[in-house]
Amino acid sequence: MRYCLFATAGHVDHGKTSLIKALTGIDTDRLPEEKRRGLSIDLGFAYLDFPDIRVRLEFIDVPGHERFIKNAIAGIVSAKGLLLVVDVTEGVKPQTLEHLRVAKALGIDRGVVALSKVDKVDKELLSERRRELEEILEKEGFNLPIVSVSVLTMEGIEELKDRLKSIIKDFSHDAEDKPLRVFIDSAFVVKGFGTVVRGSCVEGKLKEGEEVSVEPYEIVAKVRKLQNHGSFVKEVVAGERVAVNLPGLDKDKVERGAWLLEPGSYIKSKESIISTELKLKPSARYSVFCGMMETQGRIRKISEGTYLLRIEREIVLKRGDRIVVLNSSGRLLGGAHVLHPYPKIRRKEFIKERLYLLKNSFELYLLEEWSKEGLSAELFRRLTGEGLNPKNLIHIAYKIEGRFFSIKLIERLKGKLKELLQELSPETGLRLSMLQKSLGVSYSVLRYLLRDFENFTIEGNALFKRTEEASNQRAMEELTERLSEDIVEEKRLLSEGVEKIYIQRAVKEGLVHDLGNGLLISDGLLKSFVMRLRELGDEFSLQEAKAKLGLTRKYLIPLLEYLDYMGLTVRRGNRRIWKRSGRGW
């Protein structure tokens, strides 16, 4: 079963709750005051199953009265689609537009409009209302189908179900693969079970027995039981309403708007960079909904449409999240989306100069922002909820000890390191900690930089300049190590930067053997091959040697001919006979 969350929307008394009951059989008015007043005050919940496409459509019924706009925002923020209800006898009213604009602020652009109470009007008025509604939807930037319905006669109810089904069957379910995020709307105690938190799973999956982090409180708790609409389940996924039993949690510490997260999955922050079409004023104070949580904040303008948002409490955001902005009086202004949930550098000039990268290539922006500390895949995931693709950093960054550093930075550091090493003598040396401090880098980065400085060597905790003899010795050791596992062509070594003089010297000193045809082998590997061939007995054939050593003819024949040249073997027909130990072997 897959799940999809829709929110109702519409003016008070336009029939949202009655329509949900007609669709699902569930009355979402659950509070005594709601029953008494016949008015939705808080959020209500229901569901509609479509077994043939294996999808459960979850409904969040939001209040339509203007005094409860914050409750409405808290409900719509979890949704991926909208069921807008308009009373045909009244037409579009203030909360109809307000709820539409909340949906637009949150990036919700899919759904259905139900033109309700059509049993009360004639065809002429119905047609007029449809035209009015189509014009308003177009003006507000929505392209939603309209279905005429009546909960008294049940006219249009099946058509509405079909419309909803056609929309949700094509919804993407990639949110299930992202780190867990549950928006909590309530917490209570159940006798025999302890604390239960209820909310909407907007991303990820959660299983019975797993640990969750309750944020922003940094409380880690273990899941004992899970429910979806009163039924115990072993797992919940994105798009699903969920009740989570957390026995070790104090319910009084949890408020509406808190998050259930996979521990360590996201970063909390009081500052973020946002993008919006709203004209925000630095001197003003704003109310901001981040998920279901409301907080207060102020902004600092970076450039037209880009602001640094500073809020009063730590919240959990990720890049791409949508937030809703209200003025200090609680009037809806519109929405913004998060460009950067945790800016390390908040200087206006830094951000403004790199605004294109921030908007279009977040990886490159982070490379510059985190500079000498490096960009890790874990940091990227905690900022975006997604994995870092190394392919996006090819030709742009070097990977050092699991972190990425821009090539420009590394080359600049190499230049500075070269200056620091110019006056270094073989006798004095320089402490590595001093070099790290001067360059402002970690030990692993310093070691990486020093790879290009072959005339220097690390001894203990200090760096010394190599003498000529030491440099030659290191070059010889590197060459023999390179040849310790395979027979290698000389031209390949030269292309890799090995100097010809060191190859000649290694052959002269017996550290390396020239097999002819430009093939080289270390003395140690040659002796290893001889020992393995002796295991074949007093004599062996070419095929037996090939099977024993696993070499192709390109390398095997020169090797065997070299053994003949050394006097170790003598060839007789198709076989070779061990002649004598040869050169002390």
> How far, CA to CA in Å, does 166 sit from each of 115, 141, 162, 253?
18, 21, 6, 41
**Phi, psi of 463, deg, nearest 5:** -110, 130
Q: How many whole angstroms separate alpha carbon 119 and alpha carbon 125?
A: 11
Q: Which of 11, 14, 16, 465 is catalytic?
A: 16
Residues 165/158, Cβ–Cβ less than 8 Å: no
Tokens of 419: 């200056």
> How far, CA to CA in Å, does 261 sit from each of 40, 187, 201, 218, 317?
30, 16, 10, 10, 12
Instruction: Write down the H helix ranges in 249-376.
Output: 348-353, 355-360, 362-370
Query: Angle at which helices 69-76 and 94-105 pack, to 10 degrees?
Result: 40
- Helix H or strand E encompassing 148: strand 146-148
Residues 113/140, Cβ–Cβ less than 8 Å: no
Q: Is residue 16 flagged as an active site residue? A: yes
Tokens of 194: 């302890």
Determine how many CB atoms are found less than 10 A away from the CB of residue 35: 11
Q: Is residue 65 flagged as an active site residue? A: yes
Residues 106/322, Cβ–Cβ less than 8 Å: yes
Q: Which of 8, 11, 14, 17 is catalytic?
A: 17
Instruction: Report the half-sphere exposure of 484 (CA within 13 A, side-chain side).
Output: 7
Q: Provide DSSP, 183-252.
A: EEEEEEEETTTEEEEEEEEEESEEETT-EEEEETTTEEEE--EEEETTEEESEEETTEEEEEE-TTS-GG
Strand order in the sheet with 575-578: 539-541, 575-578, 569-572
Q: Is residue 153 flagged as an active site residue? A: no
Q: Which residue has the tokens 């867990």?
A: 180
Quote the radius of gyration of the chain (alpha carbons, Å): 36
Tokens of 530: 């001889």
- Residues 6 or more apart in contact with residue 135 via CB below 8 angstroms: none
Residue at 423: amino acid letter = E
Cα dihedral 221, 225, 227, 233 in deg (nearest 10): 120
Q: How many whole angstroms separate alpha carbon 384 and alpha carbon 317?
A: 9
Q: How many whole angstroms separate alpha carbon 382 and alpha carbon 386?
A: 8
Q: Which of 27, 65, 414, 523 is catalytic?
A: 65
What proportions of the chain, in percent to the nearest 5, are helix, strand and coil? 35, 30, 35
- As a residue count, the chain comes to 585
81 CB burial (10 A radius; 0-12, 13-18, 19+)? buried
Q: Is residue 321 flagged as an active site residue? A: no
Q: Provide DSSP, 34-103.
A: HHHHT---S-EEEEEEEGGGTEEEEEEE---SGGGHHHHHHHHTT-SEEEEEEETTT-S-HHHHHHHHHH
Catalytic residues: 13, 16-17, 65
